Amino acid sequence: MTEQRFQPEGFGAVIIGDELLSGKRQDRHLPKVIEMLTRRGLELDWVRYLGDDPVRLTRSFRETFATGDVVFSFGGIGGTPDDRTRQCAAEALGVPVEPHPEGLRELEAQFGPGGTPQRLRMVEFPRGARIIPNPVNRVPGFSCHHHHFVPGFPNMAWPMIEWVLDECYGHLHAVGSRTEENLVVHGVRESEMTPTLEAFTARYPGLKISCLPRWCPPDFELELGLRGPVADVQEALGALQETLSAKGWRWQQGRSRG
């Protein structure tokens, strides 16, 4: 499944299930996919939470297939009536779903020849899909273009995503190339900080610069974040520290994160 040296515009995640939107279950995929990307020097650019409504799913996949992003989709690829991700991905691409030969071989290797219609349905993928091996029960996920569809079960989904990241996008790994630095500024309001942040945003367009206010009675504080390539972050950090000190604002170094 090794692909050409694709250069994505970004990385996204689609996390599917009515049970997440109703609060019946709590999502665990978002922090994990962030962690998996971060360990490889990559980062997540967006996430969408969607229920099982097929119209909304299909519309969303049409939108994401039209981007240049790598997208990881979690959930909805089983064989029950509420599992609609396979069909919606196929409709978004304008292709039918059909039994995948490699998927059928994986099922036979795990469960023996034959199989119930419900089980066989789980390897009906959009035409042209490639399988993602499942190390737990051999019921595979699938990839279409640079969208990768895995089950909602974390014990299956996470090693499958790890496999995709290493097998398909190893050329993008840049361990240690990005970092995040934080400064905590005391007694300064957002409105006072805004001109400084605007100047730094213009000066360092390749960085993601954030400002998180906190009310800590009787005082208040701002947590400033700088995230991006290591050299740029370190340069901006030094310049920001000098600027804050020149204004007489009290600040302290926050926790750095690679």
- Residue 110: the pLDDT is 85
User: For residue 97, what pLDDT band results from cuts at 50, 70 and 90?
Assistant: very high
42-63 mean pLDDT:
97
User: For residue 23, what pLDDT band results from cuts at 50, 70 and 90?
Assistant: very high
193-199 mean pLDDT:
96
- Residue 255: the pLDDT is 67
pLDDT at 257 over 80: no
User: For residue 2, what pLDDT band results from cuts at 50, 70 and 90?
Assistant: very low
pLDDT at 90 over 90: yes
- Residue 215: the pLDDT is 84
Helix (H, G, I), strand (E, B), or coil: what is residue 187?
coil
161-174 mean pLDDT:
96
Say if CB 243 and CB 198 are below 8 A apart.
no
pLDDT at 164 over 50: yes
- Residue 117: the pLDDT is 78
| Partner residues linked to 81 by β-bridges | none
96-114 mean pLDDT:
90
CA-nearest of 181, 173, 196 to 242 is: 196
Any idea which residue has 């299930």 for tokens? 17
Q: What is the 3-state secondary structure (H, E, C) of 86-107?
A: HHHHHHHHCCCEEECHHHHHHH
124-145 mean pLDDT:
96
159-175 mean pLDDT:
96
CA-nearest of 212, 227, 223, 222 to 258 is: 227
Say if CB 165 and CB 36 are below 8 A apart.
yes
pLDDT at 235 over 50: yes
Cα(254)–Cα(234) distance, integer angstroms: 14
Helix (H, G, I), strand (E, B), or coil: what is residue 184?
strand
Say if CB 147 and CB 57 are below 8 A apart.
no
89-97 mean pLDDT:
98
Which of 33-42, 85-94, 105-114 shows the lowest per-residue confidence on average (mean pLDDT)?
Answer: 105-114
pLDDT at 4 over 70: no
Structural domains of the chain in order of their starting residue, each with its CATH number: 11-172 (3.40.980.10), 178-253 (3.30.70.260)
- Residue 1: the pLDDT is 43
- Residue 119: the pLDDT is 80
- φ/ψ (deg, to 5) at 144: -130, 120
pLDDT at 112 over 90: no
Residue 139: both structure tokens together: 């019921």
pLDDT at 210 over 70: yes
- Residue 144: the pLDDT is 97
pLDDT at 120 over 90: no
Beta strand extents in 94-241 (DSSP E only): 97-99, 124-126, 130-132, 141-144, 147-150, 178-186, 208-216, 219-229
